[in-house]
Structure 1
Amino acid sequence: MLQLADAGKRFGHKLLFEHANWLITPDERTALVGANGTGKSTLMKILAGLDSLDYGAVQRTKGMTIGYLPQDGLALTGRSVFEECLSVFDELRAMEKEFEQLAHSLAELDPSGPEYAAAAERYSHIEGRLRALDGYALDAQVGAVLTGLGFSKTDWTRQTEEFSGGWQMRIALAKLLLARPDLLLLDEPTNHLDLETRNWLENYLKSYPNGFILISHDRYFLDVTVNKIIEVWNKGLHTYHGNYEKYLTQKQERRAQLEAAYRNQRDQIEHLEAFINRFRYQATKAKQVQSRIKELDKIVRIEIPEEEPIIHFTFPQPPASGRTVTEAIHLKKSYGQKEVLTDVNFTIERGDRIALVGANGAGKSTLVRLLSGEDAPSGGSLKLGHNVLVEYFAQDQYKVLDPAARMLDDISRTAPKVPETELRSLLGCFLFSGDDVFKPLGVLSGGERNRYALARILVSPANFLLLDEPTNHLDLRAKDVLLEAIQSFTGTVLFVSHDRYFIDRLATRVFEVENGVSHIYPGNYEEYLWRKEGGPGAMATAISNDLETKAKPAPAPQPEPEPAATPQAAPPPPEKPAKRMNPIKLKQMEDRVITIEEELPRLEASIAEAENALAVFVSIDETKRLTAEMASLREQHAQLTTEWEELVLQLEEASV
């Protein structure tokens, strides 16, 4: 359907990828992953036809349709939400009008005339097309998608320009899903979606009839939607079959195999260089030295790219609070005539990690602001426990930062006891590296300042953290740092997040806000769904069977010992030649030297073939077999080389 052939792309002086080949099939279900700056979004634009390659070619099937959703930047105006979505069916709607006109014409024309026959034929053709394309249910299709993406019926008639940037992206996503292109390209589609809407999109993509490629920092979303991973790494595209969890395991295995091939190649290079240096100036070995020099020049050097360092950040542990952190009794909150919370009751105890969930507009952020003291309740009571220190991270936390302060100076003042190197490593996790740490906060975008504000909270936390959408604008690496830090935090945390993996790994209780009241569920989000759906019977249909293992960290795989290569008996050392060597013995040694010189290139070719085979991962067993085979070949090569050197020295002595 679409193919990259020997593709390459540069961004300025930086090479993003080269010699990339990728055949995209009609049933593609692929995630595009890689570190920041490796070129994922650029590659997505190339596939969409919005950017071009510097090398190679993109080949597309004639007539194929491609739909592309960027990360942000789309703005729609001039129509209502419903009309904007219906616009993707303009061709079908024109066919509907023609169909109606033909129906009127057929009622008026003479059935025996040629005009009637032509109109009837066209009527039949259009009817078939409308049935095939489900043209009789366009309004129902639009309504289903808009509802799934979180638009209420009152939103359908509102003008698109009335909506914020995030909701504008939802409208653009709705149009793409309704158009059903042959290939759907989604760059961070979950950025502007809440948890319930993400769940709906997961199910929609599972039944999507065509192919799709997506970029996402939501690990759970990738696990349940894709069956192939393309990683942009080491200036190339690398394919992994399976979901994101399987990709992580295969990536570790592939890197270990690449490092083994690199070590083997270094051994080969060092051996060749030692031989060349030893015999470079001996005329009798000029032929063998030149052979080794040519072999050295032909070696394609294996490169091991530097991995981003894994940062393990630990919160400075706060002073302990009392056992009861806060208690809400018949809590209410209204804004004018609108009641958001009507009767909320709960108790939060020290050490709780609470996920706050609920539909958009249910009152999650309102409840967080009440707990932080930003807003006052309209009724009921909210009591903080003994020695409770509250730290609140809002969705627009960046607004409280000093725009004139430099980033590194500001965070150093916040945490004077934390070494600067550790602060810079933490900022690097949140995508601030190099000279970025010296920028004034005022020049950062809203998303960048929010990322910085979250990093700032990590270095000097209180004992009760309130985090409203802390995972927004974070990549997978930064999410892992945040997750690990909160898991080791001894204080209490209440958080709102739309990242399913983050909630599953962190929450010990789930508070659901619905219809102005709260419902409390023990356990993580998976267990919340289980109880909400009615227990084990419903869980079997609502949740896939392997989710239990996903909520727990997988044990690190223990590497199996590689099979030891069978040692080969070293040939007995040749007898030391006498001053006057027997001519027969001399001839045997000369023949043996010739035989070894013929055998060594064959062994070297076999070693090179094994190295090339190791560079393509097939399976763990095949990697072990090739590693053992290469070890045996290298041992034979070393023994023959040693024997050859001793024979050559003896022949030189005999010729004196």
Structure 2
Amino acid sequence: MIPAGHKVGLVGPNGAGKTTLFRLIRGELTLDGGEITLPERARIGGVAQEAPASDVSLIETVLAADTERAALMAEAETATDGHRIAEVQTRLADIDAWSAEGRAAAILKGLGFDEAAQKRPCSDFSGGWRMRVALAGVLFAQPDVLLLDEPTNYLDLEGALWLETYLTRYPHTVIVISHDRGLLNRAVGAILHLEARQLTLYQGGYDTFARTRAERRAVQAAAAKKQEERKAHLQSFVDRFRAKASKAKQAQARLKMIARMDTITAPEDAAKRVFTFPQPDQLSPPIVALEGGATGYGDHVVLKKLDLRIDQDDRIALLGRNGQGKSTLSKLLADRLPLIEGRMTRSSKLRIGYFAQHQVDELHLDESPLQHLQRERPDTPPAKLRARLAGFGLMAEQADTEVGRLSGGQKARLSLLLATLDAPHMLILDEPTNHLDIESREALVEALTEYSGAVILVSHDMHLLSLVADRLWLVKDGSVRPYDDDLEAYRNMLLTQEKPAKSEKQEKARAAAPKPAKPSRDAILALRAEARKCEARVEKIEEMRAKLATKLADPALYEDTRAGELDTWNKKYAEVMEGLHRAEALWEAALEKLEAAETA
């Protein structure tokens, strides 16, 4: 039983049936037994696929996701019946339709789209970005039951943190499948665990769930052990005295006691998720040094004035908003982008391993993992290659399975294996945890902790970053510089949209700085247009009110035989007046914004 309005994280081993459960809730599959009960007329929403690559702008695509609003807006333009117009306007006011564009823009911004990007067509963006648009659409539509399946897989750190905060304020029920420990600790109030076709609800976030479940498993294991000892004791009596006539009845009694016992099954240990990174030989520091470097794509410079040093024992996390250049820096360090200017020195024996999500998509779907390794190591015996695969959790069955039939997590493991095949001195990981379950992420943390090479890490998983990284670099405004605070401070800065604390000297300089400039002419024109739109809306509803007032002034309406009709007209008048009051409030707010801008 999940109460309305609660936020729940759905967790369980890969293949346990989490996505199947979502399909059952949506009615795409039918139950073999039992039932799923939902509130009457509840709207169920989720992200089934990416937004289409159409010529429609991002903002219009998101606005269209609220189908009720879109239909009402279209009807408002064509309706001619006064009563229906009043109903439409009232409903539009009820669903706060007039602020819709601002709400849609705020969601898109939180997911990484600036104002200019929001006006571009969906076809300008890749599949991963259109998944963000689809997510924005379902968040904007605000279904009564929101189902999200690994929503952070196509978000960066900033987008994932924004989503966490948004979900905590979401006004309806949320069920989210996720392996992001931070999201499961901060954005939900309960964990629904699916294992062995059984659902168990635990109150609290993921850490609380993990502790509670571990305690229950320990109690269950202890009880199973005691029961086995008791059975063994009873059975030993039976074995000793069954043949003796004087003890036969007691032996039979003990056999019955064993048969009546409800067997307590010891919990099975989860299959150990492993990564085994080969250890590189040691190089003299630094292994990479950049002086006055710049890089980018073609003539477009993305990063410049790069003065960086990397040693083999470094664990560096790259921070920065989407589009600032984290992946660009990763590609430069991986020798996949040229240095446009400046100087880069590398150790002559330096080997680099590079993992990025697009590499998972470039695997050969018709070949097995073993065949992938045989292409890279044609002279190595298959037995040794199978051992390497097992070291990354790809056992005999997966080793011979076509990649196209493997899970997303298994494909990621294969890509990580290929990236580390040469025992690299520096491992560059760009979003390595996508499609990895929580146990696999913990195994990755262990492997990186034991790994003796340098690690450059880009990830939206703050739990991973906090356990692996000991240095932070902030990629911002075309440059890269050390971030001296910790991850929690960076998270708070992102959530509050505030800059790091300034020194007293900086504060005085800020106070003495010129006041913010007046709003631009374009901004003022936009506010004037909004005020005129609100005024026109008020005038349209006022016309309907006047017509209804004339009708209500007709003496014939008050004859006894028409009392029922009078009630209908009075109800319509009340609805129109309510709509008029809301429209006037919106008009007043628009005028206040315009006045503030013009007097600034």
TM-score (norm 2): 0.73
d(CA) in 2 for partners of 1:459, 1:335: 29
Alignment of 1:58-97 (within 5 A): 58-70=36-48, 75=52, 77=54, 79-96=56-73
Report the CA distance shift for 1:353/1:243 in structure 2 as closer, same or farther (over 3 A): same
Deviations 1:18-61 (A, max 9, x none): xxxxx121022111111112111112221222222222122222
TM-score (norm 1): 0.68
State the SS of the aligned residue for 1:302. coil
Question: Which amino acid in structure 1 is aligned with residue 25 of structure 2?
Answer: L
Identity of aligned residues (%): 35
Report the CA distance shift for 1:440/1:100 in structure 2 as closer, same or farther (over 3 A): closer
CA contact (8 A) 1:508 1:523 kept: no
Report the CA distance shift for 1:337/1:534 in structure 2 as closer, same or farther (over 3 A): closer
State the SS of the aligned residue for 2:392. helix
Q: CA RMSD in A?
A: 3.5
CA contact (8 A) 2:51 2:130 kept: yes
CA contact (8 A) 1:362 1:514 kept: yes
CA contact (8 A) 2:16 2:195 kept: yes
d(CA) in 1 for partners of 2:259, 2:50: 50
Indicate which of 279, 289, 297 corresponds to 1:327: 289
User: 1:525 maps to what in 2?
Assistant: 487
- Is 2:469 the partner of 1:490? no
User: 1:464 maps to what in 2?
Assistant: 426
User: 1:31 maps to what in 2?
Assistant: 9
Alignment of 1:633-648 (within 5 A): none
Report the CA distance shift for 1:369/1:436 in structure 2 as closer, same or farther (over 3 A): same
Alignment of 1:117-128 (within 5 A): 119=83, 126-128=88-90
d(CA) in 2 for partners of 1:156, 1:313: 40
User: 1:44 maps to what in 2?
Assistant: 22
Alignment of 1:529-544 (within 5 A): 529=491, 533=498
Report the CA distance shift for 1:222/1:450 in structure 2 as closer, same or farther (over 3 A): same
Deviations 1:196-244 (A, max 9, x none): 1111111100101111111111111211111211111244222222111
State the SS of the aligned residue for 2:62. helix
User: 1:212 maps to what in 2?
Assistant: 174
Question: Which amino acid in structure 1 is aligned with residue 463 of structure 2?
Answer: Y
Displacement after TM superposition at 1:389 (Å):
2.8
Q: Relative contact order, CA 8 A, sep 6+: which one is greater?
A: 2
User: 1:629 maps to what in 2?
Assistant: none
Report the CA distance shift for 1:88/1:315 in structure 2 as closer, same or farther (over 3 A): closer
CA contact (8 A) 1:321 1:386 kept: no
Question: Which amino acid in structure 1 is aligned with residue 125 of structure 2?
Answer: F
186-195 vs 513-522, greater mean Cα deviation: 513-522
State the SS of the aligned residue for 1:494. strand
CA contact (8 A) 1:357 1:513 kept: yes
Report the CA distance shift for 1:87/1:218 in structure 2 as closer, same or farther (over 3 A): same
CA contact (8 A) 1:508 1:522 kept: no
Indicate which of 17, 31, 36 corresponds to 1:53: 31
Displacement after TM superposition at 1:527 (Å):
4.7
CA contact (8 A) 2:351 2:422 kept: no
Displacement after TM superposition at 1:514 (Å):
1.8
d(CA) in 1 for partners of 2:78, 2:273: 68
CA contact (8 A) 1:344 1:518 kept: yes
State the SS of the aligned residue for 1:59. coil
Report the CA distance shift for 1:288/1:215 in structure 2 as closer, same or farther (over 3 A): same
Indicate which of 417, 423, 433 corresponds to 2:388: 423
Count of matched residue pairs: 497
Report the CA distance shift for 1:311/1:458 in structure 2 as closer, same or farther (over 3 A): farther
340-349 vs 290-299, greater mean Cα deviation: 290-299
Report the CA distance shift for 1:524/1:471 in structure 2 as closer, same or farther (over 3 A): farther
Deviations 1:76-115 (A, max 9, x none): 657433232222334334445666778x987xxxxxxxxx
d(CA) in 1 for partners of 2:241, 2:502: 77
Question: Which amino acid in structure 2 is aligned with residue 487 of structure 1?
Answer: T
d(CA) in 2 for partners of 1:47, 1:442: 28
State the SS of the aligned residue for 1:518. strand
d(CA) in 2 for partners of 1:278, 1:516: 83
Deviations 1:336-382 (A, max 9, x none): 45332233332223311111222332222222222222221222222
127-136 vs 463-472, greater mean Cα deviation: 127-136
CA contact (8 A) 2:287 2:347 kept: yes
CA contact (8 A) 1:40 1:232 kept: yes
Alignment of 1:245-256 (within 5 A): 245-256=207-218
State the SS of the aligned residue for 2:184. helix
Report the CA distance shift for 1:288/1:58 in structure 2 as closer, same or farther (over 3 A): farther
d(CA) in 2 for partners of 1:184, 1:327: 48
Report the CA distance shift for 1:399/1:46 in structure 2 as closer, same or farther (over 3 A): closer
> Which protein has the larger Cα radius of gyration, Structure 1 or Structure 2?
1
User: 2:546 maps to what in 1?
Assistant: none
CA contact (8 A) 2:370 2:386 kept: no
Indicate which of 435, 441, 448 corresponds to 2:397: 435
Structure 2 alignment gaps of length 5 or more: 504-600
Structure 1 alignment gaps of length 5 or more: 1-22, 107-118, 539-656
CA contact (8 A) 2:274 2:392 kept: no
d(CA) in 1 for partners of 2:404, 2:300: 36
d(CA) in 2 for partners of 1:310, 1:219: 19
